[in-house]
Amino acid sequence: MGQTFVEQVLARKAGLEAVVPGQIVTVRPDKLLTHDNTADISSKFRRIGLDKVADPGINVIVLDHVVPAANETYATNHQIIREFVAEQGISAFYDVGEGICHQVLPEKGHAWPGAVIVGSDSHTTTHGAFGAFSAGIGRTEAAAVMATGKIWLRVPESFRIVIDGDMSERVMAKDVILYIIGDLRADGANYCSVEFTGEAVQAMSVASRMVLTNMAAEMGAKNGVVEPDENTRAWLAGRVDHAYEEVHADSDATYERVITYDASEIVPQVAKPHTVDNVAPVTEVAGTPIDQALIGTCTDGRLEDLAAAAEIVRGRQVAPGVRLLVLPASREVLLDAIEQGYVSDLVTAGATLLNPGCGPCLGAHEGCMAPGEATISTANRNFKGRMGSKEAFIYLGSPATVAASALTGVITDPREM
């Protein structure tokens, strides 16, 4: 009988011939990703009573959530992490300024097809864009993985989401995934492994595929994955310096659900406050006033996102009273965007350029909202109170929609610009 992607990966890692959904397996993850929460995780690790982590080679630590430190508490946490990294001999440590963990991890060669990656962040699903099994875990569990090098996993059921057809002009991967989440709802793929496939996915850049797998978390998925192909291999060349064995789902594998979408029918989408599955076509919310526009985050802060925004704002000005914040996802993205002239386009138009990192997405610094304000953001979450005041409103859209809205001061269909 054929096997899905996740069944093959977990069977191989567990040293078994085959596994079935619901089965509990114990595997050794290839990578353990942690970020600013490494301070707390390291203190949990110390409570276990061990001196050394099981294998410092699996640790990837990226400071991204509140960088540079916004106050003494955050600064002290960063200090604890730097000391832990030095003491444990962890080489894959990326300090303030390198970027967001979900961008830096693959850029530095820590994701590859067939890898098992776990991380103490819910958007660890992102790395499925490289054909890896990649899932979020909690802090206690991250400490346990540091201690043992192992983790128990329940083999998930699988969904196959087929996206056929060609995407229309000014429609981005973000619009496609918002449309799907609106259809399947926030728990539509709960605990499941979601395989994204179809003509539209094959035609997508690796960056666009990362948007799909990043937001798989918002439909409850355990992991999201895109089958590796020439695009993947080209992206990884020069980054991953060892051989890897790709995992491809069998054509006769068994899926809990197979769902097909036609990308050509999808228009720009917006998630309205306060849930990600509260999705409407942009035309339905067009005209809603905004105070702030945010382009960046682990969802949409890559070069093609900045390019789409730059193309729209080039030669124009951000509307009076609107704060346009731009955060490239990593140093590499920032350097490329400088070279391509996108940074100049955006800043000339009135954008405020912030350092690579998570920025205001999680409401800790660099652009929190006052009561009654509204932000349109390229992020993946619009939960009540996520970006400052609990009385503020967050709308989610593509970089093109956010850029168009920043120019007009109201939510705007990017196809009109």
Q: Which residues bind another protein (CB under 8 A)?
A: 24, 40, 43, 47-48, 73-74, 120-122, 136-141, 143-144, 147-148, 152, 154, 186-187, 190-191, 220-222, 275, 277, 362-364, 381, 383-386, 390
Least Å distance between CB 112 and another protein? 23
Least Å distance between CB 167 and another protein? 28
**Closest to another protein by CB, 220 or 228:** 220
Least Å distance between CB 275 and another protein? 6
Cα separation values, 274 from 207, 212, 390, 392, Å: 26, 20, 10, 10
Listed in sequence order, the residues at least 6 apart from 221 whose beta carbon sits closer than 8 Å to its beta carbon are 125, 159, 189, 190, 191, 192, 193, 194
The two structure tokens encoding residue 102: 């979900």
**Closest to another protein by CB, 52 or 390:** 390
**Closest to another protein by CB, 278 or 352:** 278
Least Å distance between CB 123 and another protein? 9
Least Å distance between CB 253 and another protein? 21
Neighbouring C-beta atoms of residue 348, cutoff 10 Å? 15
Tell me, what amino acid is at 131? G
**Closest to another protein by CB, 174 or 386:** 386
Concatenating the DSSP letter of every residue in 14-38 gives HT-S---TT-EEEE--SEEEE-TTH
Calpha distance 286→266 (Å, rounded): 16
Helix (H, G, I), strand (E, B) or coil at 227: coil
Least Å distance between CB 172 and another protein? 23
Closest CA to 211 of 365, 89, 103: 103
Listed in sequence order, the residues at least 6 apart from 363 whose beta carbon sits closer than 8 Å to its beta carbon are 385, 386, 387, 388
